[in-house]
Amino acid sequence: MIVATVATVALAAVLFSASSLYDVVDKGKGPPIVPYEGGGVVYKVRVLDLFNVYADEESRPAPDKLSSVGLVAAASMSLMTLLLLTAAGAGARRRRFYAFATAGLALLAADELFAFHETLGHNLRFLADLPGVERPDDLIFAGYLIPLAIFAWSFRDLLRAQRKAVQLFAVGTCFFAISVAADLAGVSLDEPAEGVAAICLLAGLVILTAATLREELALSGSQSSPVGPSAEQTYRPPVLTEAGFDTLAALTAARQRSRRTAPRLVRADPAGGKTRT
């Protein structure tokens, strides 16, 4: 738990201090930023006060973009795990776990990419009249904690199977709660906290999924190879049954009889005699 917390705090510090490593000097389309027309907005960025980098507007590493990448990766991994477990005939409970996980992660990824809860909030403006709520979409985003809590409680035995995964899930949930609270309070910590939460939850899911696949697909992490089992692992010494011994004895007796009854060849001797062989 301590290692996971330290790593998460270090990651959060990097995210918070990233903006101090560069400075946007200028931006625009075409000259004088770049000597050609027809492109989008280009940023002139001074990095470490040593050199300039010209970056397209879409290359900006926004927290929302990083969170979207992590959620799409997690949803894809959960879907592939569900398909593998179904093909291997795994237990129904584990298949339900990854089915719900895939659906939830896909919904979160779509929301992050297309701003579903923000759009819904703009059409439910009366939610802003509730105490402590500044924007309607903040309350909708906070409502995501309810299905997340129900899912975690329903599959608590599977989630607690791996200690490292539990630690990462706990840290990720804390940062997710911080993101929700920052959203409601109007503080700018919501996006960095949301990014850290997505990374922690993805890492925990990777650990849990790897352990699940090793168990259900009978994989061995220490002896498996990408091309299949070795010759030492697949060789089994032959074992003769009683019928096998009878067959072997019959073949041996038949061979001896054939030797006794086989005709002998006569070879001519150069001196005129005959020699039997």
8-36 pLDDT, tens per residue?
Answer: 556 555 555 555 677 887 888 878 877 77
Do both 39 and 171 map to the same domain?
no
**Domain boundary pick from 175, 201, 216:** 216
The per-residue pLDDT for 15 is: 54
Task: Tell me the C-alpha distance between 41 and 27, whole Å.
Answer: 7
More confident residue, 181 or 149: 149
The total number of residues shown for the chain amounts to 277
* Residue 5 resides in a domain: no
Do both 81 and 103 map to the same domain?
yes
**Domain boundary pick from 200, 216, 232:** 216
Task: Tell me the C-alpha distance between 202 and 275, whole Å.
Answer: 89
* Residue 30 resides in a domain: yes
Do both 53 and 169 map to the same domain?
no
The 10 Å CB-count burial string (b at 16+, else e) for 15-50 is beeeeeeeeeeeeeeeeebeeeeeeeebbbbeeeee
Do both 83 and 191 map to the same domain?
yes
223-244 average pLDDT score: 52
The per-residue pLDDT for 217 is: 86
Do both 47 and 138 map to the same domain?
no
Do both 53 and 131 map to the same domain?
no
Of the given ranges (38-52, 101-115, 142-156), which has the lowest mean pLDDT? Answer: 38-52
Do both 30 and 167 map to the same domain?
no
The per-residue pLDDT for 83 is: 94
* Residue 14 resides in a domain: no
Query: Which of 14-28, 37-51, 68-82 is predicted most confidently?
Result: 68-82
Domain holding 98, by residue range, is 63-216
In tens, the pLDDT along 102-139 reads 999 999 889 888 888 888 888 888 888 888 777 888 78
The per-residue pLDDT for 102 is: 95
* Residue 12 resides in a domain: no
Share of the chain above pLDDT 90, in %: 16
* Residue 111 resides in a domain: yes
Domains in the chain: how many in total?
2
**Domain boundary pick from 216, 241, 256:** 216
* Residue 166 resides in a domain: yes
Do both 194 and 118 map to the same domain?
yes
pLDDT bracket for residue 178 (50, 70, 90):
confident
Considering the chain, what is the average pLDDT of its residues?
77
Query: Which of 131-135, 153-157, 185-189, 250-254 is predicted most confidently?
Result: 153-157
Q: How many H helices and E strands in the chain?
A: 11, 5
The per-residue pLDDT for 231 is: 47
Do both 26 and 82 map to the same domain?
no
* Residue 272 resides in a domain: no
Do both 137 and 209 map to the same domain?
yes
Q: Is the confidence at residue 1, as pLDDT, over 60?
A: no
Do both 33 and 51 map to the same domain?
yes
* Residue 7 resides in a domain: no
3-state SS record for 96-155: HHHHHHHHHHHHHHHHHHHCHHHHHHHCCHHHHHCCCCCCHHHHHHHCCHHHHHHHHHHC
Do both 173 and 197 map to the same domain?
yes
